[in-house]
């Protein structure tokens, strides 16, 4: 096996508990490692409901170019994440290098701030559809949308479809 089965996942406070944990555990089932990247390494954040998760790496130090893809959970974490230049730099790198990016619910805010949505087809929580349209995206209301390297979902009940599509894309690319 020469595959580099590593995925980076952003983390900050008030992530949507299932939107972080379901893809992380599901990718592990498929043999991937998911490293949680926060502002600092080793910090335990609580999800919106209180499920904890600890950052494995700091996004300032991590060799993000060595990862095969990027996951961005929803909840309120994206409102914090989009304020960090490094988060936007990593997001742009993944977009420009055509690496799979999974984003669900409110995660689209990070892509909007990274200016990588122009002309792309995506879904999200309906709450931010106008932000995504204003960033240049075509917004559709579906459980999962795959447009090139971008995989998006709307909310936790889409997780089975969204996560499967993200893994299928990673498997094809590797």
Catalytic (active-site) positions: 105-106
Which of 152, 110, 109 has the alpha carbon at shortest distance from 131? 109
Nearer to a copy of itself, 50 or 119 (CB): 50
At residue 21, the 3 state secondary structure works out as: helix
Smallest separation, CB 32 to a copy of itself (Å): 10
Smallest separation, CB 66 to a copy of itself (Å): 23
State the DSSP string of 43-68. -EEE-SSS-EEE-SEETTTS-GGG-S
Nearer to a copy of itself, 54 or 141 (CB): 54
The footprint of a copy of itself on residues 114-173 (CB under 8 A) is 156, 159-161, 163-164
Nearer to a copy of itself, 26 or 82 (CB): 26
Nearer to a copy of itself, 32 or 64 (CB): 32
Smallest separation, CB 52 to a copy of itself (Å): 8
- Contacts within 8 Å (CB) and 24+ apart, 122-128: 122/147, 122/150, 122/152, 123/152, 123/153, 123/154, 124/152, 124/154, 125/74, 125/154, 125/155, 126/154
**Among the listed residues 8, 18, 70, 77, the single contact to a copy of itself using CB under 8 A:** 18
Which of 171, 169, 113 has the alpha carbon at shortest distance from 137? 113
**Among the listed residues 4, 25, 40, 115, the single contact to a copy of itself using CB under 8 A:** 25
Smallest separation, CB 54 to a copy of itself (Å): 12
Which of 145, 100, 8, 158 has the alpha carbon at shortest distance from 137? 145
Catalog residues that contact a copy of itself under the rule CB under 8 A.
17-18, 21-22, 25-26, 28-29, 47, 49-52, 156, 159-161, 163-164
């Amino acid at each position: 096996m020469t595959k580099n089965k590593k995925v980076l996942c952003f983390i900050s406070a008030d992530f949507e508990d299932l939107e972080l944990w379901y893809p992380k555990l599901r990718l592990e089932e498929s043999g991937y490692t998911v490293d949680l990247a926060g502002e600092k390494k080793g910090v335990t954040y609580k999800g919106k409901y209180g499920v904890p998760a600890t950052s494995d790496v700091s996004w300032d130090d991590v060799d993000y170019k060595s990862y095969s893809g990027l996951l961005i959970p929803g909840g309120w974490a994206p409102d914090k994440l989009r304020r960090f230049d490094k988060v936007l730099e990593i997001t742009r790198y993944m977009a420009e290098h055509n690496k799979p990016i999974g984003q669900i619910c409110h995660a689209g805010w990070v892509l909007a701030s990274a200016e990588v949505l122009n002309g792309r087809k995506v879904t999200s929580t309906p709450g931010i559809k106008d932000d995504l349209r204003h960033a240049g995206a075509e917004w559709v209301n579906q459980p999962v949308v795959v447009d090139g390297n971008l995989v998006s979902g709307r909310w936790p009940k889409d997780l089975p479809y969204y996560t499967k599509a993200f893994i299928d894309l990673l498997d094809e690319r590797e």
